[in-house]
Structure 1
Amino acid sequence: MTSSLIRSILVLCLAVPAMALSGDQQTTAQAAEPTRQDYLQQIHALQTSFRERAPSADERQRFYALVEAMQTSGDDQLRDNILDTSEDHETGISLPVYPGSKLLMHARTGIDLEFNERPLLSLPTASFLTRAAPQEVLAFYQTALPGYQLRQGDDDNHFQLLQQLPDQPGLDVPESYLLANVRIRPTDSRTGVHLEGARTLYHLYYPLPD
């Protein structure tokens, strides 16, 4: 298992809310008792099938289900690799931080990703929780970063503000990991526990100072 694949899963887990497995999927998973490597292979195969296009709704749901299943399998090694990427302070973050936020993760050298078997090193990135609603966080960044352009998900709670729009449509496309941007979404059952009353998880991919 490569560290780049682990870290790509970390970013994608933080960037999109995980979806719970259906009852039939839970029963099947329990009966088969798949290993962590089984999950990784399935996730990698699914990512490869995306190629140069945005994933379909069914493909996204399948991806989220696989990630959720792997997260609940008690994988200590995965958690250790996540911690290895983190910095416990905000030093060097060149984009503004929403007031009162709690830092979750800071990778000052970026994160190694893999898309369609091609390596990619993201911009430096930091993730935060806040008790403010996603729309409040969006309003703050639209004021703080007036030149950034908005992309919105299928609902009123998922946003991405980008320094420039990538060619590929949609949220969180591979090219966007190389562009300064802010990703905003609601907390879920995994991330919300790190800050009581947290309503929003957001990620800063920030440019290095000149």
Structure 2
Amino acid sequence: MVRTEGPCSPYNGLVAGLQRQMSFASIRIGLYDSVKQVYTPKGADNSSLTTRILAGCTTGAMAVTCAQPTDVVKVRFQASIHLGPSRSDRKYSGTMDAYRTIAREEGVRGLWKGTLPNIMRNAIVNCAEVVTYDILKEKLLDYHLLTDNFPCHFVSAFGAGFCATVVASPVDVVKTRYMNSPPGRYFSPLDCMIKMVAQEGPTAFYKG
């Protein structure tokens, strides 16, 4: 990539990525505790695992619904290859141009392409990440292995991130392939998944 597209190529889609992360994370993480309280029965001291999973799925779905256009633009912009010395050699001249081009060529619905697999992906990630983090931190404190400080948060976050990546990778790959596909290549996310297995084998789900 650096050789053919220049040293800035690894940062393609950075603006859209930041837009996605700010809008997505603020909803997904910011509302988690509030939504968890909604699902927690009155009088209960601690939230159950089911309550945490429900809260994780809810905030994940809410975040995806709002932030999906930023995710589509990020994926498309990162996948567009810059082979020439000028910006005109690329399909999108910038992040805002990508929003406009996708909306013009595919309609406004094109900005929400792949919402369902993205909701599935982020529901899995949210459950595996936020819930695992919640449980790991709670257990580390309950068993007095660590106190409520930076090492405790770091260990909990490391374990949560690892679990989330392993569990969500298949859905993530299908989501990215489907969102970045030209119109007509796949009829649905399920069709994308079936074709991936048939053409590349099950290991394709863990590519990257």
- Which range, TM-score by smaller chain? under 0.3
Larger Rg: 2
Q: Which TM-score applies when normalising by structure 2?
A: 0.25
Structure that is richer in helix per residue: 2
Larger RCO (CA under 8 A, 6+ residues apart):
1
TM-score, normalised relative to structure 1: 0.25
